[in-house]
């Protein structure tokens, strides 16, 4: 892993290779929503507080979903 250039799509491929199944649609959707806000913040755009809170909630839900997939 130290030598991998990890991209967003690359992560999905590596996850499938390591765990034997792809990320669920629900998991990907949570990540996609949070990613939009993250990109705006990283690039210095103004993001309303309610959107930041929503992104944080999506990331937490994503983490729970990811943990369930890994534990299964």
Within 10 A of 55 (CB to CB), how many other CB atoms are there? 19
Residue 2 has pLDDT above 80, yes or no: no
- Domain spans in the chain, listed from the N-terminal domain onward: 23-71
Check residue 72 and give its pLDDT.
78
The DSSP output letter for 22 is P
Q: Calculate ∠ Cα 12-15-60, nearest 5°.
A: 80
Q: What is the pTM of this model?
A: 0.74
Which value, in Å, is the radius of gyration of the alpha carbons in the chain?
Answer: 14
> Which tens digits make up the pLDDT trace of 3-55?
777 888 888 888 899 889 999 899 888 888 888 888 999 999 999 999 999 98
Q: Do 37 and 10 contact (CB within 8 A), yes or no?
A: no
């Amino acid at each position: 892993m130290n030598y991998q250039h990890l991209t967003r799509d690359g992560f999905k491929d590596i996850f499938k290779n390591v765990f034997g199944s792809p990320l669920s649609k629900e998991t990907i959707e949570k990540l996609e929503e949070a990613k939009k806000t993250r990109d705006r913040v990283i690039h210095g755009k103004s993001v309303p507080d309610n959107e930041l809170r929503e992104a944080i909630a999506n990331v937490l839900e994503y983490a729970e979903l990811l943990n369930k997939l890994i534990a299964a």
